[in-house]
Amino acid sequence: MMRTRPLKVALLGCGVVGSEVARIMTTHADDLTARIGAPVELAGVAVRRPDRVREGIAPELITTDATALVKRGDIDVVVEVIGGIEPARTLITTAFEYGASVVSANKALLAQDGAALHAAAEEHDEDLYYEAAVAGAIPLIRPLRESLAGDKINRVMGIVNGTTNFILDKMDSTGAGYQEALDEATALGYAEADPTADVEGFDAAAKAAILAGIAFHTRVRLDDVYREGMTEVTAADFASAKEMGCTIKLLAICERAADGGSVTARVHPAMIPLSHPLASVRGAYNAVFVESDAAGQLMFYGPGAGGSPTASAVLGDLVAVCRNRLSGSTGPGESAYAALPVSPMGDVVTRYHISLDVADKPGVLAQVATVFAEHGVSIDTVRQQGKDGEASLVVVTHRASDAALTGTVEALRKLDTVRGVASIMRVEGE
């Protein structure tokens, strides 16, 4: 039987995403009612600038007092799309205290304080859903914590930031330099006026922490994620990648150690073979590649940001939470039973591409090879070009630990015949 009393929704934030959530709730009201089993009603919208015209939202719903809104006591679901740590954290925990479940898109908060938020939700027997926090419209959180809950996930690797993928794709396809590609991304609205969170990997690192925690049933915080931005990637790096049959992507990589005893989470640029599915992800799109014991290899692909895609994920969570509320149940909460340690970046094993500027004279290659051997790093291929007394030496290693590679590079810098280390890049996806 259809319930006639509406479920009341409080919306915190009415920017690009929030306004789209409000629009869909209004224009798709009948469909949402049919899918949920009861009507949903937008009961209030908390904003910072009440004087702005917000088409489709009744003026009497607008308030600047977000705290009073979540404390009303008759709110069923709070949708938080304001972002940041505070006041979002306090508003979410207050919502739980006053009997509301929460749908959030706040990746930074979840990466930093996800455990505390889950604990608060469990204490008050409320839901905390956050599909929109990672990869926009792409269904990813729910498949990991529900569809694959009976499987053992070994690796999650993906492109989770559309801005950086757009920039790197432009550098790859047009030969543009980093700044030129960034300027185009900014002009098209793909990059913020201050792109630091994207290009330095902070955004992707927060998403990696969330994904690793869910995939490995282990608490992984933002501080546990190794982060390296992509501002130093050059046209020369792309030229080297093409010679290897690769391209370059900023990847979020979460993986379980071979012995199953620990996990790692990292974000950095990497060369990836053109044969790998992630290599074909173009423009501002996102894609995440999941490897598990039973399901094998899966890839989730789609638009990873923007008002409509993110609102789609928010509405999906809203429907799920409302259905739970009607049935008197809650969905899956935090699963951190495995409590695996998070290993440091030095323990990570992968391949490396190292470009060296060296003197063009006999014996240089032998000296360099000796340094690699002394640090236990095996060389896969070497390519050397030179003229007029100067040369470039490109070395691709077999798999080695980050710590061993770091020691190798430090020793190489001490050689008189090595003028400098032009670039170091990891090679993933093989």
Would you name the residues annotated as active-site residues? 207
Q: Are the CB atoms for 401 and 264 separated by under 8 Å?
A: no
3-state secondary structure the chain: CCCCCCEEEEEECCCHHHHHHHHHHHHCHHHHHHHHCCCEEEEEEECCCCCCCCCCCCHHHEECCHHHHHCCCCCCEEEECCCCCCCHHHHHHHHHHCCCEEEECCHHHHHHHHHHHHHHHHHCCCCEECHHHCCCCCCCHHHHHHHCCCCCEEEEEEECCHHHHHHHHHHHHHCCCHHHHHHHHHHCCCCCCCCHHHHCCHHHHHHHHHHHHHHHCCCCCHHHCEECCCCCCCHHHHHHHHHCCEEEEEEEEEEECCCCCCEEEEEEEEEEECCCHHHHCCCCEEEEEEEECCCEEEEEEEECCCHHHHHHHHHHHHHHHHHHHHHCCCCCCCCCCCCCCECCHHHCEEEEEEEEEEECCCCHHHHHHHHHHHCCCCEEEEEEEEECCEEEEEEEECCEEHHHHHHHHHHHHCCCCEEEEEEEEEECCC
CA-CA-CA-CA torsion sign (75, 79, 82, 83): positive
Phi, then psi, of 261 in degrees rounded to 5: -90, -5
